[in-house]
Amino acid sequence: IHVEALAVRYDHAAWLDWFDARWPEGTPASDSYRRRIVDGPSYELEQAVRSLLRELELERRGIVTRLEWQLADGDLSDAQRVTLFRVCQEGLNNVVKHANAHSVTIRARASGEQLQLVLEDDGRGLPQSRPQQGYGLLGIRERVQALGGSLQLSCIHGTQLTVNLPSRRREESHD
């Protein structure tokens, strides 16, 4: 099932099916994310990430959050916007479920012809006994690579997930 989902994730209808299976329609998270990302790509990405931080209740869980956002939505394609949101969503879900972290920082910026998103926590990192990535990170890696980008994962002190994407200007010059 996961392999099938990964193979068709870029087909919009199939992706919506995958999204709905994970977050059934009518739940607060589903309705909120769908409005912000799926149905309304013009919604500002920074606002959507701030809402995600609130909805995951990180502060209530004792996880201090910091968001350093220096990306303008006008510089992002719809595909980049959705991909960056999904990276934040998957990374933050992993922090909540696995990291045992006290803090998490998300930094997003444009530098020359690159967009960079860094999500890092001070948790326990990935266990040495489990070097394989889960399906969530595999799906994010495939999404990023489909846009000509790269994903690096470092687990030296906590976990650091770094995504680099070509800027929209660079992406458009290759079309």
Q: What is residue 129's DSSP assignment?
A: T
**What Rg, from alpha-carbon coordinates, does the chain have?**
16
Beta strand segments in 112-158, E:
114-121, 150-154
Tell me what pLDDT residue 124 has: 86
Cross-sheet strand order for the sheet of 103-111: 64-70, 103-111, 114-121, 159-166, 150-154
- Averages of pLDDT over runs of 10 residues in the chain (175 residues) are 35 54 61 53 78 89 94 89 93 90 95 94 75 74 95 90 84 50
Tell me what pLDDT residue 135 has: 76
Angle at 18 between CA 15 and CA 22, to 5 degrees: 140
Tell me what pLDDT residue 43 has: 56
Q: Please tell me the total number of residues recorded for the chain in this structure.
A: 175
C-alpha closest to that of 45 among 165, 141, 142: 165
Which tokens is 33 given?
């994310």
| pTM of the predicted structure, to 2 decimals | 0.71
